[in-house]
Amino acid sequence: MAIDLYRFLDFASRQVMKAWASRQESVAVPFTPLTKPLRECTVALVSTAGVACNDDRPFDQEGERRNPWWGDPTFRVIPLGTTEKDVRLYDMHIDPRFGESDLDVVLPMRRLTELHSDGVIGPPAARHYSIMGYILEPTELVEKTAPAIAECMCAERVDAAALFPA
C-alpha cells in the first residue's frame, strides 16, 4: 500500500524528514498482540501535543526558544476527565487552538469513554500521557521518558495504548 507520510508537510520539512527517515537503521519492530478481547482492555492514550494540566509544570518552551535544536523530553500525566479548560498545549510546532478548544482533537479521552459505554473497549485508564512532538535529540526521551510512561501504564494494568501524533 502506498502511503504518503509527508503529504501535509511543506517542501523543506518533507525533505528534512525524508532525510532523517532514510538514515534510520532497519531493525525489528517490537510487536505485542492483544491478549484478550478489546472490550475487556483498559486503554491509555499518549499525545505528542505537549499537553499539560494548568496545575502541573508547563513544558519548557523557553528552553526551546533559547536553543531551537532542543525540545523538552519530559512527559506529563493527564487524568481521565480532564477537559480543555484544565490544560494548555505547549508544542510550538502545531496549531494549539484546535486542541485548546476541544481536547479530544489531540487527546480523545471523551471518545474513549464513549467507546467504553458502547461496550467496544474496556475501561479507559485513569491516567493518560503527553510528550512534546519536537525532539531532535531523543536520547532522554527513549532512555528515560518512554520507559517511565510504560512503567506507569504497567503499574495501572493498561492493556493497550493508542498514540496520537499531533
The residue assigned the cell 484546535 is 98
What residues line the site for another protein (CB under 8 A)? 1, 3, 7-10, 12, 15-16, 19-20, 23, 28-34, 38, 43, 46, 48, 64-70, 92-95, 104, 108, 111-112, 115, 120-121, 131, 133-134, 136-138, 141-142, 145-147, 149-151, 153-154, 158-165
Q: Which helix (H) or strand (E) holds 112?
A: helix 109-117
Look-up of cell digits 506507569: 152
Asked whether 110 and 104 are in contact (CB, 8 A), the reply is: yes
Of the two residues 51 and 94, which places its CB atom closer to another protein in the complex?
94
Q: How far apart are CA 128 and CA 79, in angstroms?
A: 6
**Toward another protein, which CB reaches closer, 53 or 134?**
134
| Nearer to another protein among residue 19 and residue 55 (C-beta) | 19
Phi, psi of 165 (to 5 degrees): -65, 130
Q: How far is the CB of 13 from another protein (least distance, A)?
A: 9
What's the Cα-to-Cα distance from 79 to each of 74, 107, 121, 136, 157, rounded to whole Å? 17, 11, 18, 28, 15
Q: How far is the CB of 26 from another protein (least distance, A)?
A: 11
Report the residue number, 16 or 55, with the smaller CB distance to another protein: 16
Q: How far is the CB of 29 from another protein (least distance, A)?
A: 4
Shortest distance, position 137 Cβ to another protein, whole Å: 5
Alpha-carbon span 93 to 84, nearest angstrom? 19
Q: For residue 112, give the amino acid letter.
A: L
Task: Tell me how far, at minimum, the Cβ of 84 lies from another protein, in Å.
Answer: 16
Tell me whether residue 55 or residue 134 sits nearer to another protein (CB atom).
Answer: 134
3-state secondary structure of 75: strand
